[in-house]
Structure 1
Amino acid sequence: MNIIPLFGGVIFSALGIYVCYDYRRFNKNAFKIKGRVLRYEEYIAKDTDNIKRKVYRPFFEFTVNGSTYVVKSKTSFHSKIIPVGHYADVLYHKGDEENARLAEGNGAGLGILFIALSLPAYYFGLFH
């Protein structure tokens, strides 16, 4: 048994489970409305291979009951997935509109990826 890959597997699977849980929890009671992408914040981020890449974080607005909210997304993308000025689905909770999310980036895919990455780590940790 090799503890380092095993530890990595535990971290990846825990992170994957949390992302899937958060996706399900948020979407369960979220309301969907159309919002408009205002602009993107560009910045350089390092990925897991220590390679620097330009990523884009959208700012979007939407209106609920006459109040307009401008939100900086917590999710960044490798491209400008929705052109500036275009409309997209926004998910929000009543009373917590400042933490709204673009539906485009709010999926369980990242959680599933982390869980899938944990499987080889478990294998190498337990059997090599």
Structure 2
Amino acid sequence: MDVIPLIAAIIFSLLGLYICFDYYRFNNNAIKTQGKIIGYEEYLSKDSNNNKRKMYRPIFEYSVDGNVFEIRSKTSFRHKIIPQGHPAVVLYNKNDEANARLAKGNGAGLGVLFIGLSIPAYYFGLFG
């Protein structure tokens, strides 16, 4: 039994489960509405090799009952996923409108990826 891959497997699987759970919890009660991309926050991100890459964080707005909400997305992308000024589908929960998400890019795929990465790590941790 090798402890390092086993610890990595546990961390990856817990992180993947949390992401999937958060996706399900949020989307289970989410209300869809139309919003609009009003801009992008650009920043440089460094990878493990110290290579820099430009990333884009969408800023969008939408309204509920006459109240306009301007949201800076918590999710970043390598490209501007929706052109500025164009409509976008927004998901929000009633009484928590300030924590809205764009429907595009809001998926459980990252959680599934982490769970998938944990499988070989479990194997190497237990049998390697």
Distance 1:83 1:122 in 2: 42
CA shift digits 1:4-56 (9 cap, x unpaired) = 01100000000000000000000001100010001100111234565432111
**Cα distance, 1:105 vs. partner?**
1.5
Aligned counterpart, 1:127: 127
User: Any idea what the Cα deviations from partners look like across 1:65-119, whole Å, max 9, x if unmatched?
Assistant: 1111000001111110111111111000111111000011110001001101111
Aligned-partner Cα distance in 2 for 1:50–1:19: 27
Runs of 4+ in 1 over 4 A off after TM superposition: none
5+ residue gaps, structure 1, are none
Aligned residues: 128
Unaligned runs of 5+ in 2: none
SS of 2:59's partner is: strand
Normalised TM-score (structure 2): 0.95
| Bigger proportion of residues as strand | 2
Q: Could you state the TM-score of these two structures normalised by the residue count of structure 1?
A: 0.95
Give the whole-Å Cα distance in 2 for the aligned partners of 1:21 and 1:48.
28
